[in-house]
Amino acid sequence: MPVRVEILITHPMESNPYSTPSANLYGAASGAGGDAVSPSTIAQLTGTKPWVRFLSVLTWIGAIIMVLAALFMLVAGSSGVAQMGENSAYGAGVMAGMALYYGVMAFVIIYPAMKMWKYANSIGRLAASHSVADLDAALAEQRRYWKFSGILVIIFMCLAVVGLIAGVALGLTAMKGAGAGL
């Protein structure tokens, strides 16, 4: 009866011979050099990290201030501080509307602040590991940030056009009404 002998051949740089095998799908040479990001790429990204972190912190501070302003407006509107003349219900309604606006705006800017924070964290991990996977993670966070920002700009442009059309229509209606009264 033949005896079967299996020989385990490992890569000299591999630390765990029992780990699952992996393949480099990009066609580069395998090993430490094939899966590493170039130092110049890492230097460029780490140069942006402090600025990304700074803008993220400012965005978080802006969101917190907007939430606090919304809460203040709700309290002020409900307590009667915002009375406008003799019509306190009008003042409370204005304050509630402004509180809603500030609350929605705070909610909208939290997502970009999170994406910038995660992008800065990903750059830090990339600087430590020089891994292509960490580069991909950093660029994915950056892509999500810019995609959201682009969608937000499109929405605000549409709202501006609608506002312009509404303003012109109201102006024409007011002119028409003023002309009929003469």
More confident site: 45 or 21? 45
Number of structural domains (the chain) is 1
Range of the domain at 65: 39-121+128-175
* Count of Cβ atoms closer than 10 Å to residue 66 Cβ: 20
24 domain residue, yes or no: no
28 domain residue, yes or no: no
31 domain residue, yes or no: no
182 domain residue, yes or no: no
* Residue 131 main-chain phi, psi, to 5 deg: -90, 140
| Residue range 63-93, pLDDT digits in tens | 999 999 999 988 887 776 545 555 666 777 8
Tokens representing 11? Answer: 């890569």
pLDDT of residue 31: 44
Residues 6+ apart with CB under 8 A from 70: 98, 99, 100, 102, 103, 106
Q: pTM of the prediction?
A: 0.66
5 domain residue, yes or no: no
10 domain residue, yes or no: no
